[in-house]
Homo-oligomer: A and B are copies of this chain.
Amino acid sequence: MKKWLSPALLIVTFLLSAIGHYAGWNFTLQFILSSISVIFVAGFLGKATESVAHYAGQRLGGFLNATFGNAAELIIAILLIREGLYDMVKASITGSIIGNLLLVLGLSLFAGGLKFKIQKFNMTLAGLNGSLMTLAIIALFVPAVFLNTHSITEDETKLLSLIVAGILIVSYIAWLGFSMITHKEYLADVSEDKSDQDALAHEQEPTWSKGRSVLYLIIATVMVAFVSEWLVGVLEPISHEYGLSELFIGAFLVAIIGNAAEHSAAIMLALKNKISAAVEIAVGSSLQIALFVAPVLVFVSFFMGDTMDLVFTTLELVAIGVAVFIARSITQDGASNWYEGLLLLAVYIILGVSFFLV
């Protein structure tokens, strides 16, 4: 991880991306530079968040980690909302969920499975995560089913989206209360593999002082906001230049770039046989997107004057449903092997080809 987050690379890519943007370089080059820069600053932001969380104490820290874990994606999405690119926002939500459940989890199980024959992980947590994910799917499906089968006004759709978003946020806050307060010990108890817990804890070990952590958090947030802006600015020209749909750009390009930091962390952990921690990152991240990022974006758009509804396209819903279904099927026995990782990747490729062909 050290290399990836080294200050030199962080600053150089950020500056190159800035120069590219203000000097008006070729769109493709701008896209490549800002993408690389987003990956580094998102990693920096993640590390700063963890460090601040460490000093904030267990409860507030857990809350910070859980809610700011997807800050980069949230900022990119808010910028897309400002541009009115609602379809791309929903595509990037879809892409983050399937990217975490199929690509990250798939690569982790595949790479880990090639090195270790069978890898075991926590079943109880997988079961609870599965039920949470089921709630998320239901919440995302109901508005679409409702809209497609009954003649309702746009206002009613937006009202329903706001209510559903509110229920999701309440459920997410209740989940934080459950996992960090009332059933903290229970969830810790069920993790059979002590070293996996240590692995996650170790990732959060702070290397900076308290004051420096807060400063870095502020700097990182500002940097993320800037590079995200530069990235979002070239998405439309890129989509025209290469004939790619908003759906494909949002669901694959934006989602992979925004989640790159988690991706590499999960795969590293899997290669160290810490598969519980890898599964937790992949599944936990997709849960945060569905239960927290998506509903927050609905409220953000509401306060920005034009409510984004939660009506996903059929292909997006099928992609999310399919990803949750196969990820649950594979994680529910609490053991993994390379073939299960390959199955997840096969589904990801099938969905990728479909989105590309649209």
**A357 CB, nearest partner CB in chain B, Å:** 6
**A192 contacts the other chain (Cβ, under 8 Å)?**
no
A313 CB contact (under 8 Å) in B149, B156, B325, B337: B149
Q: Is B183 touching A339 in the complex (CB atoms < 8 A)?
A: yes
A134 CB contact (under 8 Å) in B142, B167, B326: B326
CA distance A156 to B355 in the complex (A): 12
Q: Is A354 touching B160 in the complex (CB atoms < 8 A)?
A: yes
On chain B, the residues within 8 Å of A350 by CB distance are 138-139, 142, 163-164, 167
**A329 contacts the other chain (Cβ, under 8 Å)?**
yes
Closest residue of B by beta carbon distance from A319: B142
Residue from A175, A315, A340, A354 whose CB has the most chain B CB atoms within 10 Å: A354
- Report A310-358 residues with CB < 8 Å from chain B CB: 313-315, 318, 322, 325-326, 329-330, 332-333, 337-340, 342-343, 346-347, 349-351, 353-354, 357-358
Q: Is A131 touching B349 in the complex (CB atoms < 8 A)?
A: no
**A159 contacts the other chain (Cβ, under 8 Å)?**
yes
CA distance A164 to B143 in the complex (A): 30
Q: Is A183 touching B357 in the complex (CB atoms < 8 A)?
A: no
Closest residue of B by beta carbon distance from A355: B146
**A117 contacts the other chain (Cβ, under 8 Å)?**
yes
- Report A194-231 residues with CB < 8 Å from chain B CB: none
Chain multiplicity (copies): 3
- CB contact under 8 A between A150 and B315, given known A326-B135, A339-B174, A342-B171: yes
**A124 contacts the other chain (Cβ, under 8 Å)?**
yes
Closest residue of B by beta carbon distance from A174: B342
Q: Is B333 touching A127 in the complex (CB atoms < 8 A)?
A: yes
Closest residue of B by beta carbon distance from A133: B329
A146 CB contact (under 8 Å) in B145, B332, B357: B357
**A11 contacts the other chain (Cβ, under 8 Å)?**
no
Q: Is A339 touching B138 in the complex (CB atoms < 8 A)?
A: no
**A141 contacts the other chain (Cβ, under 8 Å)?**
yes
On chain B, the residues within 8 Å of A329 by CB distance are 127, 130-131, 134
Q: Could you write out 26 A-B pairs with CB less than 8 Å apart?
A: A117-B183, A127-B329, A127-B332, A131-B326, A132-B343, A134-B325, A138-B322, A142-B318, A142-B350, A145-B318, A146-B315, A146-B354, A146-B357, A148-B314, A149-B313, A149-B314, A149-B315, A160-B354, A160-B357, A164-B350, A167-B350, A168-B346, A171-B342, A171-B346, A183-B339, A186-B337
Known: A134-B329, A138-B347, A146-B315. 7 other contacts (CB 8 A): A118-B186, A124-B333, A127-B329, A152-B357, A164-B350, A171-B343, A183-B339
